[in-house]
């Protein structure tokens, strides 16, 4: 295979305090054929000075503020690599990412995903990785899950390496997808199995930073964030349905009710703030749908399915104060006691595997 070129597209908005680490980590990637593109989304902090300090080592792109989705469009249009990684400016990439991605790459791959070490604002490890894979995903698991639920277990933005040919098929993303203004990976990732193979590397190849400015539930239950998840799910359903139809594949209109993460989030909203519930059905009915979706989900192992069903039943039956604690255990990683973290790690697939391949490193 000829030498493939990597494009590392760093997406930045007011992350000047982290940006130099992100750029330095991309420059350290152990491959001669690479380009580092930094797309600044109208930052008002010291980001411009940080970018200029790297001079000709990077390709700087400055634009007015429009969100991460618009940065993906702009960055890809300027790039020329065969393999493209979108790196959030508060994250860091491993110097080994190119070597390991290339070790399993072929022309039929649409995307390779890998794990991310979770770090805090200072860069110290929080002792966990994400996402949790409780089984090795086959291509059948992934495709079945996509068609049935519009989703499958996938890594966050910085932990994906995309084939250029795949991105060329679907970009630019329409900026009318307003719920995905700052989460374009939730559109890029789900439909990738419609175009090619997905390979999962069961080892961390980037650092994902948790800090106060993240769009995430970090230290407390943020119901506004969970309701945003529901809006993104609904927008993703429209997007996946459209792209699937172009390839003569039908997605059910009620596919989200077969997605355990969607239904579970709806149950959380019902218990926390019932007036915000996106469905006009009872909690008992929602719980039954959540159990069905969990047991039928092809991307998680049996032990994890049983644990999730137990959590759902307890959540449904518990009085509100206990229910809020159960929600925190699930959705607020920083609030989990050590026993909960150890329990979750027990479900994780161990070993350094990639799809049906075993990495030797």
SS3 104: coil
- Domains of the chain plus CATH, in order, are 6-215 (3.90.550.10), 223-347 (no CATH)
92: part of which helix (H) or strand (E)?
Answer: strand 92-93
Asked if residue 75 lies in contact with residue 9, where contact means CB atoms within 8 angstroms, the answer is: yes
Per-residue pLDDT of the chain (361 residues; tens, 9 = 90+): 578 999 999 999 999 999 999 999 999 999 999 999 999 999 999 999 999 999 999 999 999 999 999 999 999 999 999 999 999 999 999 999 999 999 999 999 999 999 999 999 999 998 889 998 888 899 999 999 999 999 999 999 999 999 999 999 999 999 999 999 999 999 999 999 999 999 999 999 999 998 865 544 445 678 999 999 999 999 999 999 999 999 999 999 999 999 999 999 999 999 999 999 999 999 999 999 999 999 999 999 999 899 999 999 999 999 999 998 889 888 776 666 665 555 555 555 554 433 333 233 2
Q: Which two tokens stand for residue 186?
A: 């939730």
Q: Virtual CA dihedral for 133, 138, 141, 142, nearest 10 degrees?
A: 80
CA of residue 126 relative to chain centroid, distance:
18
Within 10 angstroms of residue 317's Cβ, the number of other Cβ atoms is 12
- Residue whose entry in the numeric block shows the structure tokens 């790459």: 105
Whether the model clears a pTM of 0.75, i.e. scores above it, the answer is yes
């Amino acid at each position: 295979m000829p030498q493939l070129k990597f494009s590392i597209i760093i997406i930045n908005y007011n992350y000047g305090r982290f940006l130099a680490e992100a750029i330095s980590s991309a420059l350290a990637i152990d491959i001669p054929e690479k380009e580092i593109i930094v797309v600044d989304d109208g930052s008002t902090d010291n980001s411009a000075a940080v970018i200029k300090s790297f001079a000709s080592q990077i390709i700087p792109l400055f634009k007015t503020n429009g969100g991460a989705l618009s940065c993906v469009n702009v960055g890809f249009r300027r790039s020329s690599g065969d393999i493209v990684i979108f790196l959030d400016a508060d994250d860091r990439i491993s110097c080994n990412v190119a070597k390991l991605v290339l070790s399993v790459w072929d022309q039929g791959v649409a995307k390779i995903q890998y794990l991310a070490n979770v770090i805090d604002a200072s860069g110290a490890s929080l002792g966990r990785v994400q996402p949790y894979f409780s089984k090795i995903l086959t291509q059948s698991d992934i495709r079945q899950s996509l068609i049935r639920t519009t989703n499958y277990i996938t890594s966050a933005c910085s932990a994906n390496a995309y084939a250029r040919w795949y991105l060329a098929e679907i970009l630019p993303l329409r900026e009318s997808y307003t719920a995905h203004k700052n989460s374009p990976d939730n559109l890029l990732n789900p439909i990738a199995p419609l175009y090619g193979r997905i390979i999962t590397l069961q080892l961390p190849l980037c650092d994902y930073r948790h800090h106060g400015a993240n769009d995430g539930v970090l230290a407390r239950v943020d119901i506004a964030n969970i309701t945003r998840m529901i809006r993104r799910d609904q927008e993703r359903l429209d997007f996946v349905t459209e792209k699937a139809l172009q390839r003569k594949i039908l997605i059910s209109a009620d596919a989200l009710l077969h997605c355990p993460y969607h239904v579970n989030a709806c149950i959380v909203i019902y218990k926390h703030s019932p007036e915000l519930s996106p469905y006009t059905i009872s909690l008992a009915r929602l719980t039954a749908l959540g159990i069905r979706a969990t047991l039928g989900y092809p991307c998680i192992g049996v032990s994890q399915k049983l644990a999730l069903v137990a959590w759902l039943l307890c959540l449904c039956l518990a009085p509100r104060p206990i229910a809020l604690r159960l929600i925190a255990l699930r959705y607020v990683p920083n609030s989990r006691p050590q026993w909960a973290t150890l329990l979750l790690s027990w479900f994780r697939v161990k070993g350094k595997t990639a799809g049906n391949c075993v990495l030797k490193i």
